[in-house]
Chain A
Amino acid sequence: MRVSRAIVLPLMFLLFLHLIVLVAGFVTPYNAATQFREDPFAPPSRVHFFDVNGRFHLRPFVYDWTSGVEFAKYVEDRNRAFPIRFFVTGNAYSVAGLFRWNLHLFGVDEPAHLFLLGSDGYGRDQFSRFLFGGQISLFAGLLAAFLSLSLGLLLGAAAGYHGGALDAALMRTTEIFAALPWLYLLLALRAVLPLGFDPAPTFLLIIAVIGIVGWSRPARLVRGIVLSAKEHNYVLAARGFGATELYLLRRHVLPQTRGVVLTQATILIPQYILAEVTLSFLGLGVAEPMASWGNMLSALQQYSILTSYWWMIVPGFLLVPIFLSYYILARSFESRVESSSY
């Protein structure tokens, strides 16, 4: 498969992002839940190369934020510089749940803190939370899309290939699923779950539900392609030569759906990331103190935070290039499918 030039950049960006998020514990200076209660709503740390005397330092440094009586009003304490150190040891974290480590790419000495994207109302580092939150949000998107597509492929192919009563039954079911108000479904689901349920399995369950509910669209698309593919002359010919149904599906019919599945994946993944963001924004997704992109944005429901602390909205803006990359990919796959079908 030739990779067109238009998708190189978004593809690289997404790969890089997923890699960084996967090793978030190493790249970030702090844990997502660590609260520095003396530093609520601290603005992003300013990284300096020149000190108060105007001398240049090759190693960048920060000053500590100090606040007076007034809440969340900070000034830099210029008396002491804290150089940014690389490969420092700090909080323990786990890498992809496989092993535990405590080496961080960078950090500063206490009592200063390095808040690249500022801190939230509990004094938690927004940069660390964004990357750790990515683990949840991106994973949610991938998992739910995988579930939707597998179900869609399976049931769509079955409906298209078999036809008849099975087709009718499955297609009516897709209509029912398409009409399900999933937000209310999740509300109801959250209400019946036991309270003591751990946040992690609760979240997996919610993602599974979103993924399963979303199978209807890919299923209908796959069905359409299978329906036309099975009537192609070479498929009929293969059947004439005595090919088994399974062989036909695997060798001739399903490969036809590749383009659609790929396109659907690039459409569904950001859609499901957004679903997670929406749910957590509404307080139905990942529970505090875990970070997710929706959780981070939910603080902005308060008007005063939006107007007083501009860095709190940065995670929202960071979502834009991510979604954009996915949509560029989707667009490019889509045009490829269109051109190949003529």
Chain B
Amino acid sequence: MRDLIKALLGKLVVLMCFPGMLVLAASGTEEFLVANSEPGASGGKLVVAERSEPKTLNPVTALDGPSRDVIRRMTADLIRINRNTQRTEAALAKSWTVSPDKRTYTLKLRRGIRFSDGHTFDASDVVFSFQVYLDEKVHSVQRDLLMIDGKPLIVTKLDPYTVRFDLPKAYAAAERLFDSIAMLPRHLLEIPYKEGKLASAWGLDVAADQIAGLGPFRLKEYVAGQRMVLERNPYYWKIDSKRTRLPYLQQIVYIFVPSEDAQVLRFEVGETDILNRMSAENFSVLEKDQQVRGFKLFDLGPGLEYNFLLFNLNDDTAGRLPEIAGHEVWFRDQKFRQAVSTAIDRNAIVKLVYQGRAVSLASQVTPGNKLWRNDALPKPQYSLANARALLRTAGFRWRPDGTLIDAAGQPVSFSILVSASNAQRKQMATLIQADLKQLGITVQVVPMEFRAQLDRILQTHDYDAAIMALGSGDADPTAEMNVWLSTGSTHLWHLGQKQPATNWEAEIDRLMQAQESETDSQKRKREYDQVQEIVATQLPIICLVSPNILVGAKARLTNFEPAILDHYTLWNADELYWRP
């Protein structure tokens, strides 16, 4: 009995605080999602330090990490990927059906739920959102994801709570498409959209009552250079098993610091509550005083990021960049690439750069990607003898002083570009430089500002080799189409191909396209396994290591379930609460 009164009292407090809810509770039509996490206590705030200020609060144009971090707390998707299971689950859509030809998805929306400003959400908001994302004039970040074979998906409102999506062809990862496509409020954004001003809407100067979303938090205030405060969204559509409306936290406060070290220091002294990724060095520094300072660190194992050595295989350098074109003769030789891969001591990289908190890689799929990794691929073996044998069969020889020369007598020497601001990649380059010296190859390591490096790789193709990292937000191979298709915009080693330049690139094209529309998941896995095999033997990029995802949080923070997929820590911010 006492419990009942308590529960009622609790409700009453909530009701009095948020008069908007009174109507909802009375109408009783709100179709909540019941979270299956441990029910907790409401209240408190969470302080997070971001490396820089967000640039915008507009989900359509946000590209940078901090903007996306903040926006994700304020928005919600129709279907989302559970970061822990790496599988899809219901969100704003309570259920969905798929037609037998896998081309039509019909989504049922939750009834009676509201945006954070109290306005109701229904199918017209969904149609509007997709209209915006797909509009060529808006240049949304998400448009590429929603185009299948160059054709957009077609969104039709069947009734206020039912939406049909027609895909141009069967698309295996269709459900996953909906994750990170934030639903936009038509009542706030339709006017700017019609006036062609959508891209500039919801800048940092937006008033708190002019921005609304379906996420667990909403904007409270932004003080330039100091902090951004999000407050609890009183209309959020999730409840716990005790029927308490989520989220539990009253506020999330973002503060801005200049570097990772500053983030770590703030966390160490207890000024911030969460550390979203840190380097292995910082992890071991913090590890020592976990108990004393009351926080907990998590080594989640390898994430999806793969670091690799990239050789320039572009074919537009001849004549324009004679020196690079000369070096490319070596790079195009599969045996040369294999020799380099065999001569790289990946274990040393794991140990010296990541203090053991990383794994060496044979292909682009990391052990963190449980559903898609090809476990049959052999581990890369470090062997200078094998590397020398490979070079010998490829026609390379050695001068008496140990210098490697090619068949034409040219000494083998090339440069590796690294981002000057990335300590780990600089260290990897220095280790690789020493490794290749053993083969008689002279390597110059050229640290460069990241944008200048990207410009050389993507635009001018004026480079020999580079160390880069890629890691998509999702485990599904479709997220990597841009990298592996020979026509892809991130097909880094050889851009702008009209026809596949090599047989194996043609084969990768075929397999990637096949898996994209294959609906039998086992067949899909086999196809992607083959892609990984080709990558591991042809070595268009020489995969090196995948760093572990290292995060930390105050020990009192409960329901904290960090995951190796992007956003790592706060993906379930709605369920977090402070243990008293």
Interface residues of A (CB under 8 A from B): 33, 35, 37, 40, 71-72, 121-123, 191, 194-199, 283, 287-289, 301-305, 307-308
Asked if B261 and A303 make an inter-chain contact with CB atoms under 8 angstroms apart, the answer reads yes
Give chain B nearest CB distance to A323 CB in angstroms: 27
Instruction: From A195, A196, A283, name the one whose CB has the most chain B CB atoms within 10 angstroms.
Output: A195
Chain B, 374-418, contact with A by CB distance < 8 Å: what is the 0/1 string? 000000000000000000000000000000000000000111010
Give chain A nearest CB distance to B137 CB in angstroms: 35
Residues of B within 8 A of A308 (CB): 281, 284-285
Output the nearest chain B residue to A70 by Cβ-Cβ distance. Answer: B284
Asked if B446 and A287 make an inter-chain contact with CB atoms under 8 angstroms apart, the answer reads yes
Asked if A122 and B285 make an inter-chain contact with CB atoms under 8 angstroms apart, the answer reads no
Output the nearest chain A residue to B283 by Cβ-Cβ distance. Answer: A304
Q: CA–CA, A196 to B464, complex, Å?
A: 9
Give chain A nearest CB distance to B429 CB in angstroms: 8
Q: Which of A40, A196, A307 contacts B414 (CB 8 A)?
A: A196
Give chain B nearest CB distance to A81 CB in angstroms: 27
Residues of B within 8 A of A289 (CB): 430, 433-434
Residues of B within 8 A of A198 (CB): 444
Residues of B within 8 A of A194 (CB): 323
* B356 CB within 8 Å of chain A: yes
**A-B interface, 3 closest residue pairs, ranked by CB to CB distance from nearest:** A304-B281, A303-B261, A71-B355
Output the nearest chain A residue to B347 by Cβ-Cβ distance. Answer: A37
Q: CA–CA, A154 to B284, complex, Å?
A: 57
Assuming the A-B contacts A122-B430, A196-B444, are A72 and B423 also in contact, with contact meaning beta carbons closer than 8 angstroms in the complex? no
Output the nearest chain A residue to B280 by Cβ-Cβ distance. Answer: A71
Asked if A287 and B423 make an inter-chain contact with CB atoms under 8 angstroms apart, the answer reads no
Chain B residues 50 to 85 lying within 8 A of chain A, measured CB to CB, are none
Q: CA–CA, A288 to B432, complex, Å?
A: 11
Q: Which of B281, B352, B413 contacts A305 (CB 8 A)?
A: B281
Give chain B nearest CB distance to A205 CB in angstroms: 15
Q: CA–CA, A71 to B284, complex, Å?
A: 9
Chain B, 323-335, contact with A by CB distance < 8 Å: what is the 0/1 string? 1000000000000
Give chain B nearest CB distance to A232 CB in angstroms: 54
Q: Which of B264, B280, B464 contacts A195 (CB 8 A)?
A: B464
Residues of A within 8 A of B445 (CB): 287-288
* B16 CB within 8 Å of chain A: no
* B345 CB within 8 Å of chain A: yes
Residues of B within 8 A of A287 (CB): 444-446
Output the nearest chain A residue to B430 by Cβ-Cβ distance. Answer: A288
Chain B residues 448 to 463 lying within 8 A of chain A, measured CB to CB, are 448, 452, 462-463
Residues of A within 8 A of B415 (CB): 195-196
Asked if B423 and A301 make an inter-chain contact with CB atoms under 8 angstroms apart, the answer reads yes
* Interchain Cβ contacts under 8 Å between A and B, 17 examples: A35-B431, A35-B434, A40-B351, A40-B352, A71-B351, A122-B434, A194-B323, A196-B323, A196-B415, A197-B444, A283-B420, A287-B444, A289-B434, A302-B281, A303-B264, A304-B282, A308-B285
Residues of A within 8 A of B352 (CB): 37, 40, 121-123
Output the nearest chain B residue to A73 by Cβ-Cβ distance. Answer: B284
* B489 CB within 8 Å of chain A: no
Asked if A37 and B423 make an inter-chain contact with CB atoms under 8 angstroms apart, the answer reads no
Asked if B452 and A283 make an inter-chain contact with CB atoms under 8 angstroms apart, the answer reads no
Q: CA–CA, A33 to B442, complex, Å?
A: 13
Give chain A nearest CB distance to B150 CB in angstroms: 36
Residues of A within 8 A of B323 (CB): 194, 196
Q: Which of A33, A195, A301 contacts B417 (CB 8 A)?
A: A195
Instruction: From A123, A302, A304, name the one whose CB has the most chain B CB atoms within 10 angstroms.
Output: A304
Give chain A nearest CB distance to B339 CB in angstroms: 20
Asked if A307 and B285 make an inter-chain contact with CB atoms under 8 angstroms apart, the answer reads yes
Q: CA–CA, A259 to B315, complex, Å?
A: 61
Residues of B within 8 A of A305 (CB): 281
Output the nearest chain B residue to A198 by Cβ-Cβ distance. Answer: B444
Residues of A within 8 A of B355 (CB): 71-72
Output the nearest chain A residue to B429 by Cβ-Cβ distance. Answer: A288
Q: CA–CA, A288 to B264, complex, Å?
A: 28
Output the nearest chain A residue to B465 by Cβ-Cβ distance. Answer: A195
Residues of A within 8 A of B427 (CB): 121-122
Output the nearest chain B residue to A69 by Cβ-Cβ distance. Answer: B356
Output the nearest chain B residue to A34 by Cβ-Cβ distance. Answer: B434
Give chain B nearest CB distance to A71 CB in angstroms: 4
Q: Which of A122, A123, A199 contacts B444 (CB 8 A)?
A: A199
Chain B residues 312 to 348 lying within 8 A of chain A, measured CB to CB, are 323, 345, 348
Output the nearest chain B residue to A40 by Cβ-Cβ distance. Answer: B352
Give chain A nearest CB distance to B409 CB in angstroms: 18
Q: CA–CA, A95 to B433, complex, Å?
A: 24
* B17 CB within 8 Å of chain A: no
Chain B residues 152 to 199 lying within 8 A of chain A, measured CB to CB, are none
Asked if B351 and A195 make an inter-chain contact with CB atoms under 8 angstroms apart, the answer reads no
* B447 CB within 8 Å of chain A: yes
* B272 CB within 8 Å of chain A: no
Give chain A nearest CB distance to B427 CB in angstroms: 7
Assuming the A-B contacts A37-B345, A199-B444, A303-B264, are A288 and B433 also in contact, with contact meaning beta carbons closer than 8 angstroms in the complex? yes
Residues of A within 8 A of B426 (CB): 283, 288
